[in-house]
Structure 1
């Protein structure tokens, strides 16, 4: 596969095909099952299901965090997910939910260029503004960076607030952090913090293996880790590959920003 191609895009958008490559390369990843219909595939799902394990379900070809359902702990939870999202795709991925840091790594020329930790959308209290007002202020910042981004107050947000014994008109104390989403996706208000200089060597190894195996030189590598600085066995897992050269995470990241667009152009056209 070449550096930029439709084949790369289609290949990596299919999360299960990507997992097969991870398995071939001995890169740890969460156990998963692909299914088409919750009811017709119920027996396969029951054989895969393990009591006490928390799952995440997502469209097999999904992007931007749309249709991602987390903290699925029972078949009833899965049935509720299916009722809401079954029309969004033809196939779905049921996957073990791994707790830890959401690590996004941007690869250019087959090497790690930038890495960040993504946190699901949140606001921090100033002791004066309501949560609704804090969300409005955060939304303005997001849309100034990228007009396509959004921070919707949906059923998930309201349930999360309720779990925190809060509501939209509540006024959080100074520096009190209020979580608004489960999914750490930038288009849904996630916040990125640069950790490029802290990334453990194992992540560089994974990127190198994947790039050499597929021939891909430009992609984003998503992983989950208890600590991005160590990556010890059993504490770090590969999630998926994004073949589109998205660099918003690193352009607007906290602590440090990267000129990913410039790096891509220099790499593609041999510009020094």
Structure 2
């Protein structure tokens, strides 16, 4: 099983909960204890209703639901044509183009400031969905917050992929070398895309694929901060303010989803400024170790089982 399913399976087995692998490739498994049975796909379970999945699968619908709940989100519209997009650039200075559905950063281009860049972004997004979103680009630190059973559990800061020069290899060679390391380290889960979007970002920094970085020089090669596109993750659970924890819990209730990964942009983890940009109905809980995400996940599914595998008895 992949790491996102295996971490949850291991926690279940440690508590004496029976595990049946239904489909290894899809990360689909069933947890059973006594008369209770829950079908899971990684961290997505039968406890998440179809309407919550529908909301999270459509980024524009997620945006509308959160906005109606009084939570802060970037300005956003459905893409219609380039004239509309150019008006957005004038009003917002910079835009994000992304498919309305999808995950792991696929098809998303960030910080677009010209007509040509938006055209390229639209072409990229259309490969993944016919429903395209234009969104205001907001500067900030990217933080993924995990909520389980409508309670804050963990948070990581996500930083976009970068490479470091050695004075010998070209930018392309450095990316290829780092990708070989990432693929081996993550079992193919993470690698930096080598695409027109990567080339756009490199050229914006007045460089080309064949250029050689000086020893120790760093270069950002991706705008999206997703782990699957070579980004790095750092646990920041203890740094997140009570206010942001409360907002994450409110967002999970607004979306009616008990297990969710919420993507925030914030200037300061300890502060109260934020926007919520996305909600993931199947967050990778393995990315949040050493925080007890697997433990809290099993607690949620089987509240009568404690960490020692013993059944809890409620008197009353």
TM-score (norm 2): 0.72
Per the alignment, residue 254 of structure 1 pairs with none
Whether the 8 Å CA contact 1:131–1:172 is kept in 2: the answer is no
**Alpha-carbon separation, structure 2, partners of 1:226 and 1:87:** 32
Question: How many matched pairs?
Answer: 258
Identify unmatched segments of 5+ residues in structure 1. Answer: 252-256
More off after superposition, 193-202 vs 257-266? 257-266
Per the alignment, residue 32 of structure 1 pairs with 76
Whether 2:114 is the aligned partner of 1:70: answer no
Whether the 8 Å CA contact 1:38–1:79 is kept in 2: the answer is no
Whether 2:63 is the aligned partner of 1:19: answer yes
**Alpha-carbon separation, structure 2, partners of 1:168 and 1:260:** 43
Per the alignment, residue 239 of structure 1 pairs with 277
**Alpha-carbon separation, structure 1, partners of 2:71 and 2:125:** 30
Whether the 8 Å CA contact 1:54–1:96 is kept in 2: the answer is yes
Distance 1:172 1:240, change over 3 A: same
**Alpha-carbon separation, structure 1, partners of 2:222 and 2:135:** 19
**Alpha-carbon separation, structure 1, partners of 2:165 and 2:235:** 23
**Alpha-carbon separation, structure 2, partners of 1:14 and 1:216:** 14
**Alpha-carbon separation, structure 2, partners of 1:137 and 1:75:** 33
Per the alignment, residue 104 of structure 1 pairs with 144
Whether the 8 Å CA contact 1:129–1:172 is kept in 2: the answer is no
Structure number with greater Rg is 2
Whether 2:264 is the aligned partner of 1:268: answer no
State the Cα deviation string for residues 3-32 of structure 1 (Å, max 9, x = none): 423332221111121122222221111111
**Alpha-carbon separation, structure 2, partners of 1:189 and 1:178:** 13
**Alpha-carbon separation, structure 2, partners of 1:47 and 1:169:** 35
Distance 1:14 1:120, change over 3 A: same
Cα distance, 1:114 vs structure 2: 1.2
Determine which of 38, 44, 61 is the counterpart of 2:101: 61
Whether 2:258 is the aligned partner of 1:220: answer no
TM-score (norm 1): 0.82
